[in-house]
Amino acid sequence: MSETTQYLVNKNDFSDLRVVKTPLPQLQKGEALIRIGRVAFTANNISYALAGESLGYWKFFPPAGDRNTHGLIPVWGYGEVEAENDSGLEIGESVFGYWPMASHWIVQPGSVKPHRFMDSAEHRAALPGIYNNYRRVAKEEMEDRSYGDRQSLLFPLVGTAFGIFDWLQTEGRGQAAQIVLTSASSKTALGLAFLAKNKSDLKVIGLTSPGNREATEKIGFYHQVLSYDDLEKITQAPTIIVDMAGNGGLSAKLHRHLGDNMLREARVGATHADKVFAVDGIIKERSFFFFLPSHAAKRQPETDGAFLKDMLAFSSEFARQSDGWLDIVDGETAALYEKVRTGSIAPNQGAILSLS
């Protein structure tokens, strides 16, 4: 392979997706060339682009061409070692992890173990370690492509859900009797609802758009699903809010409705939290921005390394049960990208891109 296909996104206009072919440099000692295959693309990946500057997501995969105007959005999924130069990896083996929207990428494997490795590229050293960790995949897992697609879709999303639930269990719940999730049809919210409903005694309430309410209700992970217009129907009881919508006006309405019963709000995915929390009506002192890499960095040593293992185990469990409600949608990359970008994916659908 002498060239790679890169799907470059205009940092100031995400509707501008360009397909560019660029030469690959010769492999240096300690490097491996990965052919990137089927990867997931969700609203979470659009969040990476939105937070590209503030949280550093554009820094993971420097593209060819003008890096000031265009970037490679990170995605999660599977790749295969196509070539290597004393890297510790084997040609033909499958790996799972964090990739650019491109057909190929060169990694510098470090801390290579039988089941995992880290990308030790110099430019990634200061970036959150959770994104630099890659899993060497057993052949048995690759035989079930449906599971692989679901794992790609759900791991980064329900990984965040696992982290939030861990925060609730260890420090965040307090005296809460119920939890309210906004953007309840999102995969992250569904993962958290699944955990909270099955592993706690919290009443789990989902808020979503009127058009998504029925489909979200049918999935069965919530005790109650309401549309945003009906939030006044939320029972007055000590409440934790987990906001996936990033809508300051919505949060203010919830805070005003619940008053003293609003114990904490964890905002997930907000790129400018200070501005959002400054909206009139928000109880700022009881609101904060939840960032999974920071929580994982704290909990990993506290659990003697069990946190990430447990997160992976839950994502695998959740992926395997999702065939009852999650439909895989695949197709041409640019068309699917646009469908996700514009919010045209239903709650029970997940988009998979084939990058090579």
Q: What is the pLDDT of residues 281-299, one digit of tens each?
A: 888 899 988 988 889 989 9
Closest alpha carbon to 4 in 48, 41, 45, 34:
34
pLDDT tens digits, one per residue of 232-279 = 999 999 999 999 877 888 999 999 999 999 999 998 865 444 555 667
Average pLDDT score over residue span 125-129: 86
Q: Crossing angle for the helix pair 333-341 and 43-50, nearest 10 degrees?
A: 80
| 231: nearest Cα among 249, 262, 264, 257 | 257
Q: What is the structure's pLDDT at 140? A: 62
The CATH superfamily of 3-143+326-354 is Medium-chain alcohol dehydrogenases, catalytic domain (3.90.180.10)
Q: Which residues of 176-215 are buried (b: 16+ CB within 10 A; e: fewer)?
A: bebbbbbbbbbbbbbbbbbbbbeeeebbbbbbbeeebbeb
Q: What is the mean pLDDT of residues 7-12?
A: 94
* pLDDT band for position 142 (cuts 50, 70, 90): low
pLDDT of residue 13: 94
pLDDT at 289: 87
Nearest CA among 141, 2, 123 for reference residue 58: 123
The pairing of strands 70-71 and 74-85 is unpaired
Q: What is the CATH T-level fold of the domain 158-295, as seen in this structure?
A: Rossmann fold (3.40.50)
* pLDDT band per the 50, 70, 90 thresholds, residue 143: low
Mean pLDDT of 114-140: 88
Q: What is the mean predicted confidence (pLDDT) over 327-345?
A: 90
Domain boundaries, the chain: 3-143+326-354, 158-295
What's the whole-model pTM score? 0.83
